[in-house]
Chain A
Amino acid sequence: MIKVMRHHRSHSHGTASIDFYACQSGLRHWNGPYKVFSSLFILVLCLGLDHPWISVFVILTIGTVNLFGNRISFLNYFELLKMPFAFLLLGSAAVAIGISKQMVGQVFFSLGGWNFYVTKEGMLQSMELFLKSMAAVSSLYLLALSTPASELVSVLRSIHMPKVLAELMNMVYRFIFILFEVQREMRIAAASRLGDVDFKTSCCTFGQIGGNLLILALKKANTYYDAMVSRGYEGELLFWEEEKPIEFWQYLLLAGYFAVLVLARFCLLSES
């Protein structure tokens, strides 16, 4: 009797990196410089307009774009936001809490004559800071989740970054995956022979893998060079870059978003 196992072909390749999301993003085909500019522009707007409601608006709208435009599931997006969220929460807490020898504000904890206190202004200020930072993080995620690293490099190249640096970044990007893969294989091979049986052996194995990686990298570099020469490489890495024209409505979209933010700011200003 033959047992046939059927598995769903999963697309998770070990680590589902931000780069992987960027490759499947719905905004992948948008013009690269446009994406870089709009993300940074929105970031600057958040900081410049400096109002908690603006920040909330940006977090929500850009979040929606990330979910539906960049086609990230809500859970994955939440996972991505978790780390900056925790980091910013701690940071804002540090802003909100003051230490003084005098009795000021709402003291909630005292230690050897030092009072830890919060004030209403401090709380509000840290809240605003937190929201502003989260909005900034969202708009940077808009960039990271829609633009693969190679496209970023080509944007950098188009704003006249030195060619050597751009080529280096491209190579590093390609090789980092190969290096990870090789390292992973060696680690598994070592583990299968009890290379991680105790702490001392683990350290030893780690060192040996590191050394092997260096030698392998040198060998691989040679093979790569041969392969490149065999396809006519003559000292300059020429990569195909897709031409992605900016549509008129995309200009309008950005201008519209800008107008909404600025208008909202004025309304909020006149209200207060």
Chain B
Amino acid sequence: MKNEILKIQCLTFEYQPGHPVLEDISLSISQGEKIAVMGSNGAGKSTFFLHLNGVLFPKTGKIYYRGEQIKGKNIKELRRNVGFVFQDADNQMIASTVQAEVAFGPMNLKLPREEVKIRVEQALSYMDLDTYRERPPHYLSGGEKKRVSIADIIAMKSEVILFDEPTAALDPVSAGVLEQVLEDLSREEKTLLVSTHDVDFAYRWADRIVIFHQGKILADGNAMEVFLDGDLLRQAHLKKPEMLIVYETLLEQGLIREGSYPRQAVALEDAMKQLV
């Protein structure tokens, strides 16, 4: 088993007394995991992310980062090591140029000026934003803003990155770029949690799927365990991924290797070739 990076124990939270938004959440997250957090609107995904990031503090329950319990004092540790890419990039940007925006996090980490500069350079070129550095964020398009909001977090070199519905409101090309970035980040051993409604994306990308329902964890398992469970999907307002339906149809016709469960189009081709 890999290093455990985050552990959440019996977390409960409510905005108003008597109306719990999160109830008895327990989860253990290892380094380098690719987790899709799913569930209907208002299931508590965003609130859960705000806890992992140290913006909200649990009413009861504990959060551990690398075995150390997070309390009021070391909550900064959590904010430093867990980055949060918000759903609406506009809600995240405060500086008046792209460069200053990306530098905001590193500046808050109180890094020396030289280090800030290096990190900003790296983050900008990582997200292919070199030519945008002097532009004010309000003159960027939606996809460009999203890239800036990811560069924001990359510059902080967080070990865990939370994405709140990153593909919402992105055009297919921008969404493709985003998936590539997720792929690159996980190759660098970053731990990624992505909240999404897109079952096809989750099936394609995630190693592990956590489903929230009315403030509780309804299911937690790998993609196959979750998406083959029809009752579970119905309860969580989810649908079976298209790729899985295609696989099942092909299997019925005897055109694909049994148990191959291809998750990407490329893998589908392979699974069908190997049959012949």
Contact = CB atoms under 8 A, between A and B. Distances in A.
B103 to A, nearest CB: 3
B96 A234 contact: no
Interface stretch (B21-29, B132-140, B176-184, B205-213): B132-140
Interface stretch (B48-56, B246-254, B256-264): B48-56
Nearest to B52: A230
A150 B138 contact: no
- Chain A, interface size category, equals 20 to 34
B91 A231 contact: no
A148 interface: yes
Contact of B94 (A23, A174, A232): A174
Contacts of B99: 240, 242
Interface of A: 13, 19-20, 23, 28, 148-150, 170-171, 173-174, 177-178, 181, 220, 223-224, 226-234, 237-242
Nearest to A20: B139
B116 interface: yes
B86 A148 contact: no
A169 to B, nearest CB: 10
Contacts, number: 92
A72 B85 CA distance: 37
A231 B104 contact: yes
A22 to B, nearest CB: 10
A230 B100 contact: no
B214 interface: no
Contacts of A231: 79, 83-84, 104-105, 108, 152-153, 156
Contacts of B108: 231-234, 238
A136 B91 CA distance: 40
9 contacts: A28-B134, A224-B91, A227-B91, A227-B94, A230-B50, A232-B76, A232-B108, A239-B104, A240-B104
Contact of A226 (B50, B96, B109): B50
